[in-house]
Amino acid sequence: MDRTMSPQQQWEKVKSRTTKIIRSYSIDYVDWRTKTIIALEKKRNRLLRTRPPPAIKVQLIPPIDRQLATLQQELAEIAILKSGIHWQEKGEKNITYLKAIHKKRTLQQSMPGFQDPTAADPTEVHTENTSMQMIVHNFYQKLYTVDPIPLEHIQAYLDTITFDPQVSEPDGQRLQQPFDFDDIVDMAKRCPKQSSPGSDGLGYTYLHMLYNLPCLKNFLIRVYDDALRQGIFPTSWKEIRIRLLPKKGNLTDLKNWRPIALINCDAKIFTRLLTHRPAPLMTTLINPFQKGFVKGRFIGENGMYVHLILQQAREEHHPGLGLLLDQEKAYDRVLPVYLLEVLRKMNFPESIIHCIHQLFFNNSVRINVNGYLTDTVHQERGLRQGDPLSPLLFNIALEPLLLSIQQDPHYQGYLPLNGNASLRVKCIAYADDICAFVKDVEDLGRLQYHMTQYNRVSNSKFNQGKTEAFSLNGGQSSSWSAILRSQHIAIYHHKYSPSAFRYLGFYLPYTIHQRDQIQRMLLEKLRTHFNIYSQRQLSIRGRASIANLLILSRIWYYMRIFHPTQQFLKEVRSLTYNYVWQKKFPYVSMDRLTLPIMQGGLGLLNPPTQHLQLQMKWLFLIFQQNNTVSPFQEFLLQHVGRISSDPTHPVLPFFSVPLQHHSLLHPTSIVPRLFAAFDYLNISFKLDEVPLSQLLFFPLTNMFQPLPSNHWLHRYPRLPASSFLHFDSSTNRLRLKVVHEYTTLPRLFRRLYKDILERRSVKLQEFLWPHITQNTTIALPPSSSMTISPLLSQLTTSTMWSKFCPRTYCNHRNSLHSSSPSQPSQINLQYFWKTPIPLPARTVWYRILLHKTPNSDALSKCGIVSSATCRFASLMLTPSPTLWLTVPVNGQYG
């Protein structure tokens, strides 16, 4: 190695030589495989032609077959990689494989043609490759060229915004510490092996091998240290290749293609290491209304924000409006000098700012157009999509706009009726997807002012034509319609719109009609995919895996804030069952299929239960007991508190069934599903510290000791205790209601009355009897107060809550309330599923283990055959052993 070369030049030379060696070896090795396969096949044929004795044949042929299989598998894997399909067949339980078999080559592999916006006829589509390259080159050269902005204008804009908190001095020092070599090696090891390499062609696997060579350690440390501290990089780090991926819309328009940067893997290791350092600081540096790419923040919170605001605004008849803002090429228009000034305002160290500036800007870019690279484009602005650090940098670049809106005292946004100032919501964002709320025309003017000021200093551009507006109260306002038309905003959503609008992919219906339309669309989507995957010949285990992870997963995202009808969930359940069981006779219950695999089921998700499980995210936020409350969490608690009409105890409706009725609980509201999810936990609360008069607000099931699993009360978990018990305020006593006092379920309550007093098959909680049989002498809290703290403590310490597991949540009700079917014979189920049985045979054997084959016993019950006795059993003198079962003489498996 030439010692006069810099560490960066030495590293480039090592990579260049490594690439040449790999390519040369690969060509020779592929050729060697082909020649070896031919030689082995000839050797095998010669052996077979000699007709050797069986003993010799068994010894010589299998080793040759194994070598042939290994080489042919390697060639198949290479062909798979060349075809652009990154999957390998590892059996029917591999979901990636199952999905890939139906995957079609997408449009990004071939670009049909582009329009030239500078041509005399901008609608003409050019399909010649040379013309397409020129159009792409000119488009991106213009996109990546800076529109100069005076530095003093940027600084004046940022001076009007308060950035608090900022990067502290200790945090700044940690950001600048040199990378440890072990961290570099570990990062290379942890990066995905299938990631596309950059211009040097070296993937993470090869880099990990190079990084483990002791002779390269010292100058590798210098390469990464110089990059961090001085902003000096290997030349290949600034040579970017771009692959265009299609978005929605007209694909002859280059604006509808997303440029993904293919960066060298050694450079991505550096940016991954760099990203890990400021990432923990983003939770404080980025305002809580920005949910994108910040650890601990969840995209669903923004969807829930809009959902709750729509529910409250409907009740309040709020006159406001919501706006879904659209930025044109948001990442590609970020101005370097603006981004650097924002970093300085946040007090990032100068060395880190210099490093980011040198790495992300003034790069050489070439775009791949149908396999051909365009001429070099000089990138003066824009963040490269595909780099791990880009999302954090974009959040920082967008932060001044969000802060300017949040800090504007004249901007009202949405404030709940009688709510305090901390509940005010002006705008929320997920990366560049911004949703702004305006109360009136003055608010709209303030919003446009902030957008204009931000555009003027950042080179960003808002697209009014793609901006969408939606009514907060659902009504259609003629005044708002006129204002929106004057602003060139064509889309205005309200309750009279033909369909619901979407924000971040979440459907947000105003009316039952819009909700039903969403349900029909989702059902049609599920039917289509079930039909597609039905063409694949899979075992029942494979179909269950497909249903869980590839088909039903398409609707779970929407279901977090969507309240479907029970009929919809039943239809989803029916579609899932029919796809998995394939209408085989005899039928097996859906409860059996939803059991865990090691309990004889298939682990199939039950749609109604899964929908409840998705609401646990919101329940944890509601019942979270800590000192730090996010704005969204405070807003959610306020919403629930409005239902209880008791701001001191906002969670009261979860414990008190009669309080679960309010005008806020519209059929489209998700809150009733939160109550149902809470009830499904089936936690038995000790109510001995609750005032007697308040006991009647709790579910009736809580008044009893554990009930039999088949008791009818399990079907009515939300039935209030007041329907069966009465509180006499004059004597401060409880009593059982008598026949003429039953307003609901009189027949069942008469039976319950007898079960308690006569049959003694049902027992009340022990603490209740003294309040029924005699006057209460115990000092009780005032009847108007509710003691919630003991109940909250019981909730948070219960096993179902403190050790919450989605799978346990989905299965525990089966174990509690259903007559669980017996285990399918005394079989080692793990051994059964791992045994390499042909797929059609596996399904048959699973049905045999469940006793769900059309044998004589099952057919006789349906009247198809006259006798339940197996026609072969009478021929046996002793039980006949099979693979897993023994056919008994009395003929149960005929």
As a dihedral over the C-alpha atoms of residue 808, residue 809, residue 814, residue 815, rounded to 10 degrees, the angle is 50
Number of domains in the chain: 3
Q: What is the pLDDT of residue 381?
A: 96
Q: Which of 30-39, 457-466, 548-557, 781-790 has the lowest mean pLDDT?
A: 781-790
Q: Is pLDDT of 558 > 90?
A: yes
The chain-wide mean pLDDT, for the chain, equals 86
Between CA 650 and CA 366 the distance in angstroms is 57
Mean pLDDT of 276-300: 95
Between CA 524 and CA 227 the distance in angstroms is 53
Q: What is the pLDDT of residue 29?
A: 66
Between CA 453 and CA 448 the distance in angstroms is 9
* Percent of all residues in the chain with a pLDDT value above 90, rounded to a whole number: 54
* Percent of all residues in the chain with a pLDDT value above 70, rounded to a whole number: 87
For residues 754 and 843, state if they share a domain.
Answer: no
Mean pLDDT of 606-632: 90
- Does residue 95 sit within a domain? no
Q: How confident is the model at residue 808 (pLDDT cuts 50, 70, 90)?
A: low
Q: What is the pLDDT of residue 78?
A: 72
Q: For 373-394, how does the pLDDT look when each residue is reduced to its tens digit (9 = 90+)?
A: 999 999 999 999 989 999 999 9
For residues 742 and 834, state if they share a domain.
Answer: no
Q: Is pLDDT of 757 > 70?
A: yes
Q: Which of 378-387, 548-557, 558-567, 688-697 has the lowest mean pLDDT?
A: 688-697
Q: What is the pLDDT of residue 93?
A: 55
For residues 784 and 839, state if they share a domain.
Answer: no
Burial 186-225 (b: 16+ CB within 10 A, else e): ebbeebeeebebbbbebbbebbbebbeeeebeebbbbbbe
Q: Is pLDDT of 104 > 80?
A: no
Main-chain dihedrals φ then ψ at residue 166, nearest 5 degrees: -125, 175
- Does residue 718 sit within a domain? yes
Q: Is pLDDT of 619 > 50?
A: yes
For residues 782 and 700, state if they share a domain.
Answer: yes
Query: Do 269 and 207 meet the contact criterion of CB atoms below 8 Å apart?
Result: yes
- Does residue 843 sit within a domain? yes
- Does residue 834 sit within a domain? yes
Q: Is pLDDT of 768 > 80?
A: yes
Return the CA Rg of the chain.
34
Q: What is the pLDDT of residue 99?
A: 55
Q: Which of 35-49, 277-291, 781-795 has the lowest mean pLDDT?
A: 781-795
- The region, left, alpha or beta by phi > 0 then psi within -120 to 50, assigned to residue 413 is left
Query: Do 326 and 202 meet the contact criterion of CB atoms below 8 Å apart?
Result: no
- The pTM of the full predicted model, rounded to 2 decimals, is 0.86
Between CA 828 and CA 823 the distance in angstroms is 10
Q: What is the pLDDT of residue 889?
A: 46
Mean pLDDT of 616-634: 88
Q: What is the pLDDT of residue 530?
A: 95
Q: What is the pLDDT of residue 780?
A: 44
Q: What is the pLDDT of residue 430?
A: 97
Burial 630-653 (b: 16+ CB within 10 A, else e): ebbbebbbbbbbbbbebeebbbbb
Q: Which of 317-321, 755-759, 780-784 has the lowest mean pLDDT?
A: 780-784
For residues 784 and 714, state if they share a domain.
Answer: yes
CA-nearest of 260, 229, 248 to 140 is 260
Q: Which domain holds residue 872?
A: 829-887
| For residue 586, cis peptide bond before it (omega within 30 degrees of 0) | yes
- Does residue 712 sit within a domain? yes
For residues 774 and 835, state if they share a domain.
Answer: no
Q: What is the pLDDT of residue 227?
A: 96
Tell me the C-alpha to C-alpha distance, in Å, between residue 437 and each of 30, 414, 429, 501.
Answer: 61, 6, 12, 16
Q: In the listed set 788, 821, 856, which residue is the last one of a domain according to the structure?
A: 788
Helical ranges in 108-166 per DSSP H: 129-143, 151-159
Q: What is the pLDDT of residue 87?
A: 36
Mean pLDDT of 783-795: 70
- Does residue 63 sit within a domain? yes
Q: In the listed set 41, 67, 85, which residue is the last one of a domain according to the structure?
A: 85
Q: For 723-746, how does the pLDDT look when each residue is reduced to its tens digit (9 = 90+)?
A: 999 988 888 888 899 888 998 899
Mean pLDDT of 215-221: 89
Highest mean pLDDT among 101-115, 179-193, 456-470: 456-470
Between CA 702 and CA 3 the distance in angstroms is 81
490: tokens are 């064509």
For residues 745 and 836, state if they share a domain.
Answer: no
Q: Is pLDDT of 214 > 50?
A: yes
Q: Is pLDDT of 566 > 70?
A: yes
Q: Is pLDDT of 302 > 70?
A: yes
Q: Which of 23-32, 305-314, 420-429, 692-701 has the lowest mean pLDDT?
A: 23-32
Q: Are strands 886-887 and 880-881 parallel, antiparallel or unpaired?
A: antiparallel
Between CA 322 and CA 436 the distance in angstroms is 6
Q: In the listed set 733, 764, 788, which residue is the last one of a domain according to the structure?
A: 788
Q: Is pLDDT of 544 > 60?
A: yes
Q: What is the pLDDT of residue 793?
A: 85
Between CA 749 and CA 726 the distance in angstroms is 14
- The region, left, alpha or beta by phi > 0 then psi within -120 to 50, assigned to residue 558 is alpha
Q: Is pLDDT of 763 > 70?
A: yes
Q: How confident is the model at residue 833 (pLDDT cuts 50, 70, 90)?
A: confident
Comparing 538 with 390, the larger pLDDT belongs to 390
Comparing 625 with 358, the larger pLDDT belongs to 358
- Does residue 53 sit within a domain? yes
For residues 838 and 775, state if they share a domain.
Answer: no
Q: What is the pLDDT of residue 870?
A: 67
Beta bridge partners of 148: none
- Does residue 156 sit within a domain? no
